[in-house]
Structure 1
């Protein structure tokens, strides 16, 4: 192992990076139902931190904190995946919305508007927003799941347990597709993602920046998730 980050014990490691684990856990919990216990997320995050320390290789180009953040987030998401607490109706409606967006954009060549998606689904606009709200509150946002499952860090960083060149090429191709899909999002959706993930603002704070309600930010956020899911359907 090539660790340049050395600790006398796991306790010292945990003490120094516990705030990072807590920050990531709280950020992810904000998008989950109240039934998800924070302590479970923190425990999974701590396991991710220890795994990051065991596998970290500074020669790959990422700082330990960057790499640890990726591993912590991935460990928490994996823990949530193991407990299937999402109702089947939510899975079904998520697919319906994604399919509707795909059909509209394939037909028109333009971004699907909220009203168009509602019409395609045969529901009112308010009912469509209710479906988006259920999706937002009942599961992790697709962006988190997709990035975590890619097992990639920023730049050229590849984890030590990389399974081989073919998988690496596939992940590189996927990440390019993901980046392209995000870049092609409508400007407001792209801004919400940037404020939420890059700036770590919560929905209320984003609403204050944009001058809209927290519920409207939630709708925009969910709409972006559905649009990404639609545009990355070949990877699912």
Structure 2
């Protein structure tokens, strides 16, 4: 056996051992995510995707990295699970449409009043009762619980994408950084209670029950507050996304004219 063949065999053995040792990490991450997902999501699908992420991490890990393998693998495993959730987006198109409608109403109210849109006025303009409105807020939270990165449905609307910056081109990187700044500003403008829920959910990664215990409210109330924050963020990000889309159209027109000249 050549030196190269021996080296490759040792690499494969090392990767296989890392996968065996860290398989429980996949289940732990999967069940942690399940605490933040609807019952319709199958944990076995997450585990399967996570095992693929673990295998890729084992193959690509080098001892010269600053992070430990568990930290490195955890990022890959979680990323693979989120990719699977995005790919199989469980949210019906009707929910996406409803979220867009709610966000547009919130935007109109806040433009007119210069203040946070109140639930009562949003419900009045949408023609919704309290029960239907709160159910729509819960749906809004589910439609956007992947760190504000799940894709929109094919009918349009802006996604709050948080893609890997290293994979972006120069223009995409500028837009990506602009989106991050706009999103940070939008979150900072939320009512205090909504800001707190967003921080506990997305930064501290507490589930709704745990957040309810912190705030002293029910899990369903946390879900409503979360949904309110998502709808309000979408409304307040609309101006930024419209600017980006206008810029993209202008660049496309310029390129078309350049090719025709």
TM (norm. structure 2) is 0.70
CA–CA distance in 2 between the matches of 1:64 and 1:173? Answer: 32
Give the Å deviation of 1:24: 3.7
Q: What do you get for the CA RMSD once the two structures are aligned?
A: 3.3
Q: Which residue of 2 aligns with 1:10?
A: 15
**1:127-179, Cα deviation, whole Å (9 max, x unpaired):** 21021123334x34263416994224xxxxx54xx243222222211111121
Mapped contact 2:140–2:231 kept (Cα < 8 A): no
Structure with the greater alpha carbon radius of gyration: 2
Q: Does 1:150 align with 2:162?
A: yes
Higher relative contact order (CA 8 A, sep 6+): 1
CA–CA distance in 1 between the matches of 2:169 and 2:14? Answer: 32
Distance 1:107 1:83, change over 3 A: same
Which range is displaced more, 50-59 or 187-196?
50-59
Distance 1:102 1:58, change over 3 A: farther
**1:79-134, Cα deviation, whole Å (9 max, x unpaired):** 12322432232122111111111111222222222222212212122321021123
Aligned partner of residue 223 in structure 1, secondary structure? helix
Out of 56, 69, 74, which is 2:79 matched to? 74
Q: Which residue of 1 aligns with 2:178?
A: 173
**1:158-217, Cα deviation, whole Å (9 max, x unpaired):** 54xx24322222221111112111111111111112212222222112111111111101
Distance 1:109 1:69, change over 3 A: farther
Distance 1:185 1:21, change over 3 A: farther
How does 1:1-236 map onto structure 2 within 5 Å?
A: 9-15=14-20, 17-18=22-23, 20-52=25-57, 68-137=73-142, 139-141=143-145, 143-145=147-149, 149-152=161-164, 158-159=165-166, 162-233=167-238, 234=241
Aligned length: 223
Distance 1:105 1:20, change over 3 A: farther
CA–CA distance in 1 between the matches of 2:125 and 2:23? Answer: 46
Which range is displaced more, 220-229 or 68-77?
68-77
Aligned partner of residue 204 in structure 1, secondary structure? helix
Gaps of 5+ in 2: 1-10, 151-158, 246-261
Gaps of 5+ in 1: 1-5, 153-157
Aligned partner of residue 185 in structure 1, secondary structure? coil
Mapped contact 1:143–1:225 kept (Cα < 8 A): no
CA–CA distance in 1 between the matches of 2:132 and 2:82? Answer: 29
TM (norm. structure 1) is 0.77
Give the Å deviation of 1:16: 5.1
Aligned partner of residue 143 in structure 1, secondary structure? coil
CA–CA distance in 2 between the matches of 1:119 and 1:58? Answer: 60
